[in-house]
Chain A
Amino acid sequence: MGPGQTKRTGMQTVVFTNPPVINAMASIVGPKEGQGPLGKTFDKVIDDNLYGEKSWEKAERKLLKEAVEMAIKKANLTAKDMDYLLAGDLLNQLISANFAARDLGIPLIGLYGACSTMFEGMALGAMLVDGGYANHVAFGASSHHDTAERQYRFPTELGVQRPLSAQWTVTGAGAAVLGNTGAGPVVTHATIGKVIDLGIKDAGDMGSAMAPAAADTICQHFKDTGRTPEDYDLIITGDLASIGKALTQQLVSQNGYDISKIYTDCGILIFDPAQDTHAGGSGCACSATVFSSYIMDEIKAGKFKRVLALGTGALLSPTSILQGESIPCIAHGAVIEAR
Chain B
Amino acid sequence: MQSKNRVVHLSNNKDDSSVYVKKGSFSDLHINLKDMFNYYGKINPENKNIVIKINLCDFRAPETGAITDPRFLDVLLKCLRDYSNDNEIYVVESNATVAQPDLFIKWFGFIPVLSKWNATYVNLSKQKTFKKDINGLHFKEIDVPEVFRDSYFISLSKLKTHFEVKLSSALKNQFGCIPKRRKIVYHPHIHDVIVDVNLAMRPDFSIVDGIIALGDYGPTIGEPIPANVIVGGRDPVSVDCVCAKIIGYNPYLIEYIRKCANNGVGSMKYSLIGDSLNDINVDFKVGLRKRTFNYVLNNSTSLIKKFSGGS
A binds B: no
Binding site for B on A (CB under 8 A): none
Residues on B close to A: CB < 8 A? none
